[in-house]
Chain A
Amino acid sequence: MSGVRPTKGYLMEMKRRIGFIEKGCEFLKLKRDHLAKELSASIDILKGRRGLLLKNLKEAYDALTAAYISLGPIEVESQARSVQSALQLEILPLSVMGVRYPYVKIVSKPKITSELDITLSNASKKIYEILEELIQLAEFEARAERIADELGKTNRKVNALENTVIPSYNQIIKFIESKLDEESLEELVRMKRIGGERASRRE
C-alpha cells in the first residue's frame, strides 16, 4: 500500500472517489445495456436485409458479367462513361449513446440513359434497383460495427471497474480504516496508561 496515507482526510477522499466511480460504473452498465439492445436490433435487421439483398446482388452481378462478356471490358467502360449524371452521396455523422456512425444521404441518383447497350442497361437497372438498399445496408453495417466496437470497450471498462478499480479502492479504504482503528486503539491505551500513571503519582 505504498503512497497511501492512513489519515481520516485521505479516507474521506477515497470514499468520495469510490462513490463517484460506482456511480460512473452504473452509468457505464446502463450504456452497455442500451448498446447491446441497439446492436441486437441492428443485427436482426441486417440478417433479414442481407439475405434479401444477396439474392438481388447475385442477379445484378450475373447481369453485369453477361454485359462484360458480351461487350468486352473496354466497351463496357466506354459506354458506362456516357452516363452523365453520376451517383452523388453526402455522408453525415449521427450518434447513438455517443457512438458516431455515418448516415448516407443520396443527393442524386445516376440517370440510366438510352446510350447503353441492352445487356449493360439491364445490369445497370438491376444495380439501380438495389442501390438504395445497398447504401442503407452499408450504413447499418457501419453502425453495427461501431456499436459493437463501443460495446466491447464499455464492457471492458465495466469489468475493469468492477473487478479491479473498485475492489482496490475498497481494499485501500479497508486498510485505512483498520489503520485508523489501530491508531485510535493505541491512542486509547496510551491515554489510559497516562491516566493510570497520573493517578498513581497523585497517590
Chain B
Amino acid sequence: MNLGLDYVVIRSHALISNLLTIQQINDLADSKNVEEFLEQLSKTPYGRIEINDAGTVAITLEKVFYEKFVERVLKIIDLTPQKIGDFLKSYYYLRFETLNLKRIIRGKFSGQKPDEIFYTLIPINPYLIPNYEKLVNSVDIDEILEHLKDTTYSDVNKQKKLFNQYNAIWPIELALNHIYAKTIFRNVQNLPERDRRIIYKIVEYETDIENFLFAVKQSQEEKIDLNLEEVFPATYNLSIEKLREVIESENLKKVIESLDEHYSKVLSLIYSGDVALIRTGLRHYKCKIVSNALAVNEFGFNAIMAYLIYSEIEKDNLVGIGWGKAQGISSEDLMKYMVECKKYS
C-alpha cells in the first residue's frame, strides 16, 4: 500500500509523537518490581502484557518489545515508496536475519536442540534465506555453511578455514557483520544522494565502534597471530592500522585521543571500566545523527529514519528496564544505560 513519501513522512511525525516520553521511561525505570513495571506499561501504547512464566519474564518482555518494533518497521515499509521500502527492509531485516544466523550458528556450535534455537530467534520471516528450518535442523555448522552457499551470505564459507583453525565461530560472525555492512552500502545506492548520507553515517559509525570493541577484546586476550584484514573486513574511519594500535598498544588512552572527536568522546567511556557505556554512547550518537538530520529537513527520508531509530532505541531501553526490574536493579543503576533522545525533551 504505497501512499507516497509525503504521507509516510507525515505519518512518521505522528508516530514519533506516539513514542514513549522520557517521563514515561523514567516512570518505568522507577517501578519497584516487574508487576509495577507491567502496570506502568499497560498505561502506554504497549498495553497490558501477560507473563505466564515468571522465570522467563525478561525474555518474554524482550520478545514482546522486538515483536512491537518489527511490527512498526513493517508498517512503515508497507507505506513507503518501493525504493525506500526495499532499503528499509534490507536495513532492518538483514540486521535481524544476521543476528538470527549468528544465534543459529552459536546454537549448533554448542549443541542446542532445534526448538531451543528457534526460541532465541527474532520473530521475522526469512529475508535472504529460503527458510530457517533447514538451517536450524542442520547436523553441524558445515551443513549450515553449505545451505548458505546459494544465498547472499555465501561469503561466510570463506571463513571456514579460520573456523577450523581456531575451532571458534567468531570468524563466521565477523563475516556476517561484513556481509551486512556491504549489502547495506550496496542497497543504499538506490536511495537519492541526500538520503544516503544519514545511512552511511550510522552504518560506518556502528561498524567502526564494533571493530574497536573487538580490537579491545583482542588486546585483553592471549596474543594470537591474526590477519587483521580477515578479522576486520570492513573498516571506515577507524583504519586497520588504528585497530592494530588498539590491539598492540599498552596505552589505550593515547590511541583514543588520536581519534576524531565524535569517536574519542564515545570511546573514552571505556576509561570508566564499563564497556557497555560505549554501546549506550553509540545509541546516543545514532539518535543525534537522526535528530540533526531532522532539524535540517523535517520532510523527507530523515523523518522516517528518525522514527525508526527512536523506535529502536525505545525498544532497547525497554528491554534493559524489563530485565533490570526482573532482577530488582535500582533505577539509578539502570538509567545510566538508557538513551534519552533529544526529541523526548
Contact = CB atoms under 8 A, between A and B. Distances in A.
Interface of A: 62-63, 65-70, 72-75, 77-79, 81-84, 113-115, 117-119, 121-122
B59 A78 contact: no
A81 B217 contact: no
Interface in B272-316: 274-277, 279-280, 316
A113 B171 CA distance: 13
Interface of B: 58-59, 62-63, 99, 102-103, 106-107, 109-110, 112, 120, 166, 168-170, 173, 213-214, 216-218, 220-221, 274-277, 279-280, 316, 319-320, 323-324, 327, 329, 333-334, 337
A65 B213 CA distance: 18
A77 B58 CA distance: 12
Given A73-B59, A118-B216, A78 B106 contact: yes
A119 B276 contact: yes
B103 A78 contact: yes
Contact of A122 (B62, B275, B319, B327): B275
Nearest to B56: A73
A69 B334 contact: yes
A81 B276 contact: no
Contacts of A63: 274
A178 B217 CA distance: 89
Given A66-B277, A78-B120, 15 more contacts: A65-B327, A66-B337, A69-B276, A69-B323, A69-B324, A70-B280, A73-B62, A114-B170, A114-B217, A115-B106, A115-B168, A115-B170, A115-B173, A118-B216, A119-B279
Nearest to A86: B110
Given A77-B120, A118-B213, A82 B58 contact: no
A70 B275 CA distance: 9
In terms of DSSP, what is the predominant structure of the interface of chain B? helix
Nearest to B169: A115
Contact of A114 (B62, B103, B110, B168): B168
Nearest 6 interchain pairs by C-beta: A66-B276, A70-B276, A69-B320, A118-B217, A81-B110, A82-B106
Query: In the complex, which of the residues A66, A69, A77, A83 has the most CB atoms of chain B within 10 Å of its own CB atom?
Result: A69
A68 B329 CA distance: 12
In terms of DSSP, what is the predominant structure of the interface of chain A? helix
Contacts of B320: 68-69, 72
Contacts of A79: 106
A70 B279 contact: yes
A84 B110 contact: yes
10 contacts: A65-B324, A66-B277, A69-B324, A70-B275, A72-B62, A78-B103, A81-B110, A82-B106, A114-B221, A115-B173
A74 B120 contact: yes
B274 to A, nearest CB: 5
Contacts of A118: 213-214, 216-217, 275
A75 B102 CA distance: 10
A95 B280 CA distance: 52
A48 B76 CA distance: 59
B275 A84 contact: no
Contacts of B107: 78, 81
B319 A72 contact: yes
A119 B36 CA distance: 29
